Structure 1
Amino acid sequence: MAISEKNIPSSRPIWVVLLSGCVVLCLAFGIRSSYGLFVKPISDELNWGREVLAFSLAIQNLLWGAAQPFAGMIADRYGAGRVLALSALIYAGGIILGVMDYSPIASHMGPGFFVGIGLSGTTFGVVLAVIGRSVAEEKRSLALGIATASASLGQFLIIPLGSSLLQSFGWQDALLILAGLLMLIIPAAYFLRGVSSAPQGLADSGLKNSDSMVDTLKEAARHRGYWLLIAGFFVCGFHLAFITVHFPSYAIDKGLAPEVGAWTLALVGLANIFGSYAAGALGGAYRKKYLLSGIYLARSAAILAFIFMPATTVSFLIFGFVMGLLWLSTVPLTSGLVAQIFGPKYMGTLFGFVFFSHQVGSFIGVWLGGILYDSTQSYDLVWWISIFLGVFAAVVHWPIADQPLRRFSQAT
């Protein structure tokens, strides 16, 4: 009889699990974040409006979110290693499909559908759940912050690499090279296998160990704070996806060199290394819901200041640094709240549904940016929508009831 990965004991040191998760997130997020560099050159060469590729990337974000709960469920039940390895292959295959066939349908299926499915199994929902179950509650927020920062490190490293590859080899070969880099996820996935439940001694706040996944989902569905987290994370997705995909084109529209948009996004990634780490550290000392409200309000203020500043290289880089501090700092706090309220046992599943809302926001942010640009030749309206949504998210996080539901029963 085959042995399930879930039943393979994990004796690896916590630092090995954390490092492996960081490698996966660095590659998966870095390559995904570089797609904004390719919107204008692909659209110009193939005589597409920006809406075509924007819709492909919107599909990517939506499918990423729709598949995330299921990827989390499979990983929670059977272990993360196989999910990560298979998802990396699907992710790379989607990129290759978009390169080999230049039709809009292939773009929607490759970079859209298949990359979205691949991302669902190589990003936060699966990786953070493994890390969250591997560390004690008092260290969990910091560990989640370090892992989230690694995603930004990927953005900082791979976006300039993608820009250089684009300039040297053209968009087709550049994307093929990036697809090849994804294969490094597979050896990292090996060290994340077998971590499918909280180790002895890590029983902490949340639902009882005896509760099933169905019981946990029912409990979450009745929890008002869970729905407020879902609503707030929608805004995070809208902000991140719109800026990631459309910002390089926005910089060119403002008369700046193509490298400015790329380096601004890279600076976002660099600053977010510090922002995510700080959010994780602060989340262990202060109430996470108040930190989240402050982050979203600060985003709105940063966008408002940016759209009124003159469009210069300096103003773009300043905006990139400020937004970077606030970029993925929501993730360790949001995922940490899920584990704090419901416990880490089914964290991958519960965070997967919250993340789906994030990706619905991403879908709308990316697609709406393309539609409004093609119809108005401007991104101004989307910036104003982003400001409003940031204030909305700040408001909805404030009243979340963040107390643990029940204490775990004694480990048997």
Structure 2
Amino acid sequence: MQLNWKAAIALAALILAINTGARQAMGFMLPPMASELTWGMGSLSFALAIQNLVFGLAAPIASKLSDRFGTLSVFLVGSLCYAVGMGVTALWPTPTVWMLGAGVLAGIGIGATTFPLVLAAVTRVVPIQHRGIGLGIASAGGSFGQLIYSVATPMLVLIDWKIAMLALGASCLLLIPMALPLLRRPPAGSEAPAEDIPSQGPLLQDRRFLALAGGFFVCGVHVAFIATHLPNFVVACGLPLNVAGNTLAIIGALNIAGTILFGAWGGRRHPPQLLMLIYLCRAALVMAMVVIPPSSMLLYAFGAIMGILWLSTVPLTSQAVALYFGQKRQAFVFGMVLAAHQVGAFLGAWGGGVVYQLTGSYDLLWISSGIFGLLAAIVHWPVRREPTRVIQPQLA
């Protein structure tokens, strides 16, 4: 039975809700783990930094493996890795298990169940005229997941952080039944017609790819730093931990609208122009966190504005990749762009912990994030509107 394209968008949104929500909720574990296990914030955040790096490496590899073994098979293995990686940490909380479970196994699972494979499936089945809004709605699932997990996880942490970790792992098992109808091979002729446009030359020499990857690198720094360290930043400012949960929930709630809006807007405007606008606004916003005294109202205002911008980069970047590199290679090329995102996420997650441990403040990370945002806006300025019809991309 052929899956209706509207149902495909809904399933993709639910999958990304779990994938993103569970991943970004792990920052809530750090304060109680640091208090109970005395490992130090640098060591704890390093495992999540490794997770982000492994996630980025796993995404393009998963895209390639899906060509050989099928998208569904790769996704199912990834779902199990994600769930087991979360669960073992709660059952055997040692530094080695934390690194291998939350860092490596969960990282592999996240990379195999995230945006490239899922959004490529959406692109294949959604009619061209609805593709921009479809990618926006599917991507907004990540924000919806962040909203739900940001509210639920702190409540579970108050009971026991181990219970919260087990709950996150159990939720990852729900990815399996959701993926079955979305990712199984469609009948011949059932996919939406493609407008494939070959890419220009070697991938790593393509300025459009480098601009998209550079911008996504900065996006990774922003998202991982905020998602991982906002709870500890809030506690360090003398505010209750639930302020961080509320702020992340606000980010998730507002980004549902923001991602859909920018996804639809990207179907009408040149995506790199909108990406430039997003990165400029982010730069101004994170700089404000250094100059304005922290308060719950400041954090809620920060959450509202950042929410509009949070994952709005995803449908725009996915649209740009499909535009310049073609739908047939969308999953792989977007996976490569996502790898750059996760290198940035590694630096954001680990760097935040190291800087805080050395200085007792996050100011240096807020300032660096602002500078990175300005650079990301600049690199998108010269990206051309017209795709070029030449040869298939290669890594080098």
TM-score after normalising by structure 2: 0.95
In structure 2, distance between residues paired with 1:218 and 1:70: 21
Q: Which amino acid aligns with 2:283?
A: S
Alignment partner of 1:83 is 2:65: no
2:158 is aligned to 167
1:303 is aligned to 286
In structure 2, distance between residues paired with 1:121 and 1:353: 13
Alignment partner of 1:100 is 2:83: no
Q: How much identity, in percent, do the aligned residues show?
A: 38
**Contact (CA 8 Å) 1:27, 1:182: kept in 2 or not?**
yes
1:248 is aligned to 231
Q: Which amino acid aligns with 2:231?
A: P
In structure 2, distance between residues paired with 1:29 and 1:220: 27
Alignment partner of 1:284 is 2:274: no
Pairwise CA RMSD: 1.8
1:17 is aligned to 8
- Structure 1: which 5+ residue stretches go unaligned? 1-9, 208-215
**Contact (CA 8 Å) 1:75, 1:348: kept in 2 or not?**
no
Of stretches 317-326 and 95-104 in structure 1, the one that deviates more from structure 2 is 95-104
Q: CA deviation at 1:12?
A: 1.3
**Contact (CA 8 Å) 1:98, 1:107: kept in 2 or not?**
yes
SS of residue paired to 1:340? helix
> Could you give the per-residue CA deviations for residues 146-201 of structure 1, whole angstroms, max 9, x where no partner exists?
11101100000111111111113x00111112211111111111012334799565
In structure 2, distance between residues paired with 1:386 and 1:201: 39
In structure 2, distance between residues paired with 1:81 and 1:202: 22
SS of residue paired to 1:82? helix
1:3 is aligned to none
Q: Which amino acid aligns with 1:95?
A: M
Equivalent position to 1:337, from 320, 323, 331: 320
In structure 1, distance between residues paired with 2:201 and 2:184: 27
User: Following superposition of structure 1 onto structure 2, how do residues 3-402 of structure 1 map, counting pairs within 5 Å?
Assistant: 11-168=2-159, 170-195=160-185, 199=190, 202-207=193-198, 219-402=202-385
In structure 1, distance between residues paired with 2:296 and 2:52: 29
SS of residue paired to 1:192? helix
The number of residue pairs the alignment matches comes to: 390
**Contact (CA 8 Å) 2:146, 2:252: kept in 1 or not?**
yes
Q: Which amino acid aligns with 1:346?
A: R
Q: Which amino acid aligns with 1:258?
A: L
In structure 2, distance between residues paired with 1:217 and 1:115: 34
SS of residue paired to 1:285? coil
**Contact (CA 8 Å) 2:15, 2:178: kept in 1 or not?**
yes
Q: Which amino acid aligns with 1:241?
A: A
Q: Which amino acid aligns with 2:260?
A: Y
> Could you give the per-residue CA deviations for residues 201-254 of structure 1, whole angstroms, max 9, x where no partner exists?
5121412xxxxxxxx695433421111111111000000000000001101111
Of stretches 190-199 and 368-377 in structure 1, the one that deviates more from structure 2 is 190-199
In structure 2, distance between residues paired with 1:352 and 1:290: 22
TM-score after normalising by structure 1: 0.91
In structure 2, distance between residues paired with 1:171 and 1:47: 14
Q: CA deviation at 1:136?
A: 2.9
In structure 2, distance between residues paired with 1:155 and 1:161: 10
1:210 is aligned to none
In structure 2, distance between residues paired with 1:365 and 1:201: 38
**Contact (CA 8 Å) 1:206, 1:342: kept in 2 or not?**
yes
> Could you give the per-residue CA deviations for residues 117-157 of structure 1, whole angstroms, max 9, x where no partner exists?
00011110111111112123332221111111011000001
**Contact (CA 8 Å) 2:147, 2:248: kept in 1 or not?**
yes
**Contact (CA 8 Å) 1:205, 1:405: kept in 2 or not?**
no
**Contact (CA 8 Å) 1:91, 1:116: kept in 2 or not?**
yes
